[in-house]
Amino acid sequence: MTTEVKYRRGTTAQHATFTGAEGEVTVDTDREALVVHDNATAGGFPVPSRVELQNQSMVYIAAGGTVDVITLTVVPAITAYVTGQRFAFKASGPNTTAVTINVNSKGAKTAKKDGGSRDLDAGDFITGQIVEVAYDGTNMQVESPLASHGGDTFIEEIIAANDATIEFTTGIDSEHDEYEIQIINLVPATDDTELYLRYQVAAAWKSGATDYSYNMQFNNTPGVSAGAAQILLASAGGEDGVGSGAGESWSGRIHIYNPASTVRWSNMNVMANYNNTTSPFSVLGAGVYDAGVEAVTGFQFLMSAGNITSGTFRLFGKKR
């Protein structure tokens, strides 16, 4: 005769207030998993199910709170912090200062990098980044790679949306002597237009007729100016400008040196490519703001005509 064995069962919420007998096993009907009891601990000790192991739901949690004060709610809830515990979450946005993480309201713990020796810098997390942390007994050590660009400092990301200009005006100071600007898939509103870079000095965007000099190569066609109102980043010597049609855009990296210096000019170089119709164009060259040896406090991008329809712009301070 076959004997059928059934265990007591209940929802996750019901288990949270239930203290089972020592060695008793119950079934969590929400999780479809077993729970082992010790006659003392409310909620018992949940055994991970196959599904929970596959999707990491007991350690991966949607982040709550803010970008700097993060809250995590693990189900089943942890009863206390234990050294070695690991958690993962998706950052909701770039952090603006040091970060704390609070799991199941057990207390805010400071997120640390570099083996637990340093607080996070602004921009170490970016939107959508999967962050993995481990509790070291005092703090939450970040184990996943940071969005600090290989040790550099992420400062700001701007997503263009039919803007007349894209401007970086924060985080440009003496902390870094080199900055990198990434531009991904810039698309102008007006077809076949030039892309310009200007600097901010003393709270004013510099556009004097001889404020800049540059030496650029566009598909081996030189674009040279010993006096210009901006640095040219697309189009020169009869070459086409940036296209606005399907598949056309401008992408590249710009490095700017010594912007905060008052004893050296702020030089820059660029390596990029862009498209117009079916033709690809390469950009390679250098430029300088040479109207005076003055501290630069901002970088501005604009087209020769029309707005910037779309594109991603990121500013990094390079690690010394």
Q: What is the pLDDT of residues 176-220, one digit of tens each?
A: 889 999 999 999 999 989 999 999 999 999 999 999 999 988 876
User: Is the domain of 42 the same as that of 70?
Assistant: no
User: Is the domain of 162 the same as that of 83?
Assistant: no
User: Is the domain of 108 the same as that of 15?
Assistant: no
Determine, yes or no, domain membership for 184.
yes
User: Is the domain of 111 the same as that of 219?
Assistant: no
What per-residue confidence (pLDDT) applies to 82? Answer: 95
State the residue range of the domain holding 18.
9-51
CATH number at residue 250: 2.60.120
User: Is the domain of 160 the same as that of 307?
Assistant: yes
End-of-domain residue from the set 117, 142, 167: 142
Determine, yes or no, domain membership for 242.
yes
Determine, yes or no, domain membership for 20.
yes
- In the chain, the number of structural domains is 3
Determine, yes or no, domain membership for 2.
no
Determine, yes or no, domain membership for 25.
yes
User: Is the domain of 25 the same as that of 134?
Assistant: no
Determine, yes or no, domain membership for 3.
no
**Residue percentage of the chain with pLDDT more than 70:** 93
User: Is the domain of 166 the same as that of 251?
Assistant: yes
Return the minimum-mean-pLDDT range out of 31-40, 140-149, 215-224: 215-224
User: Is the domain of 107 the same as that of 207?
Assistant: no
User: Is the domain of 206 the same as that of 226?
Assistant: yes
What per-residue confidence (pLDDT) applies to 237? Answer: 46
3-state secondary structure the chain: CCCCCCCCEECHHHHHCCCCCCCCEEEECCCCEEEECCCCCCCCEECCCHHHHHHCCCCEEECEECCCEEEECCCCCCCCCCCCCEEEEECCCCCCCCCEEEECCCCEEEEEECCCCEECCCCCCCCCCEEEEEECCCCEEECCCCCCCCCCEEEEEEEEEEECEEEECCCCCCCCCEEEEEEEEEEECCCCECEEEEEEECCEECCCCCCEEEEEEECCEEEEEEEECCEEEECCCCCCCECCCCCCCEEEEEEEECCCCCCCCEEEEEEEEEEECCEEEEEEEEEEECCCCCCEEEEEEEECCCCEEEEEEEEEECCC
User: Is the domain of 175 the same as that of 276?
Assistant: yes
pTM (two decimals): 0.58
Determine, yes or no, domain membership for 4.
no
pLDDT of 1-26, one tens digit each? 688 888 999 999 999 899 999 999 99
User: Is the domain of 35 the same as that of 82?
Assistant: no
End-of-domain residue from the set 86, 118, 142: 142
What per-residue confidence (pLDDT) applies to 74? Answer: 86
- Judged against a pLDDT cut of 80, whether residue 277 lies above it is answered with no
Determine, yes or no, domain membership for 148.
no
CATH number at residue 27: 2.10.10.30
User: Is the domain of 182 the same as that of 253?
Assistant: yes
